[in-house]
């Protein structure tokens, strides 16, 4: 098989995006590290509570917009107060230089979007899996779609700034596992198992990106690409696949 075939290209992409880290350039002094740990614990508790409250609000109620914007403010505020954060650098597919992980992260987000879209086709055939997802989508259908789209974008950025920025930097070890688990646990209050599973998968991918790039920029781009794409594609996919 050619070393430049599609499988080899995909392997090189995955290695550069998720496996081989760039050299770490930033280290927190002990006092900054301790402060960061205290701040992220407080932020995580507050954010989890507000997220559960937001998802309990009736679709179409303007209070939902207030709750989700408050949630974004909590994630961003906690991240910024915790200490210095870094955008990070990515390794190119050829591995010969470093660059901001912009195109690479867009591609990864689109790849995740394709995988989740295929999964939605299967979910649409199973009523007890489809119905909770339909209920979640009601926030976009019943209320202002433009506002929900903007909030989805803002919260994607805010979540990554906190979870793959501040929280990741506050952990001395097992950062990929711990940030993934905690990110998934924040969605348990929704009562939607597929949302928890999606959070775990997205959390794992973005945590691996954080490990590779050393910053929040790559995870932000991947997360927002995926979340905006799902908001736009999921309703028609579920409708057509019934």
Structure tokens at 26: 């930033």
Residues 217 and 100: beta-carbon distance below 8 Å:
yes
Question: Which among 79, 109, 84 has a CA at the least distance from the CA of 17?
Answer: 109
Q: Calculate the CA 11 to chain-centre distance.
A: 23
Spans of all domains in the chain: 29-241
Round to whole Å and give the CA distance between 109 and 115: 10
CA distance 100 to 107: 14
pLDDT tens series, the chain, 242 aa: 445 678 888 888 888 889 989 887 777 889 999 999 999 999 999 999 999 899 888 888 889 999 999 999 999 999 999 999 999 998 776 666 788 899 999 999 999 999 999 999 888 888 888 888 888 888 888 878 899 999 999 999 999 999 999 999 999 999 999 999 999 998 887 778 888 999 999 999 999 999 999 999 999 999 999 999 999 999 888 888 76
Q: What pLDDT is attached to residue 191? A: 79
Nearest to 234 by CA among 131, 112, 150, 121: 121
Residue corresponding to tokens 């028609």: 236
* Integer Cα distance of 167 and 169 in angstroms: 5
The reported pLDDT for the residue numbered 2 is 47
CA distance 115 to 32: 39
* Nearest one of 182, 168, 158, 149 to 212, comparing CA atoms: 168
pLDDT of residue 96: 63
């Amino acid at each position: 098989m050619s070393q430049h075939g599609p499988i080899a290209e995909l392997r090189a992409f995955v290695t550069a995006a998720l496996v081989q880290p760039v050299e770490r350039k930033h280290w927190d002094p002990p006092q900054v590290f301790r402060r960061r740990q205290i701040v992220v614990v407080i932020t995580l508790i507050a954010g989890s509570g507000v997220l559960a409250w937001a998802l309990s609000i009736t679709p179409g109620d303007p209070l939902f917009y207030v709750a989700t914007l408050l949630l974004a403010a909590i994630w961003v505020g906690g991240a910024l107060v915790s200490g210095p954060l870094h955008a990070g650098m990515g390794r190119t597919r050829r591995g010969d230089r470093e660059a901001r992980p912009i195109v690479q992260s867009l591609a990864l987000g689109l790849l995740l979007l394709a995988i989740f879209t295929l999964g939605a086709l299967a979910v649409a055939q199973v009523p007890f899996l489809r119905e909770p997802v339909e209920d979640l989508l009601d926030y976009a259908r019943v209320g202002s779609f433009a506002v929900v789209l903007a909030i989805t974008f803002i919260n994607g950025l805010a979540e990554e700034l906190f979870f793959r920025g501040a929280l990741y930097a506050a952990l001395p070890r097992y950062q990929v596992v711990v940030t993934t688990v905690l990110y998934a646990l924040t969605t348990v209050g929704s009562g939607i198992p597929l949302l928890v599973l999606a959070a775990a998968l997205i959390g794992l991918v973005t945590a691996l990106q954080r490990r590779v790039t050393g910053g929040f920029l790559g995870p932000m781009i991947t997360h927002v690409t995926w979340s905006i794409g799902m908001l736009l594609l999921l309703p028609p996919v579920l409708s057509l696949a019934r």
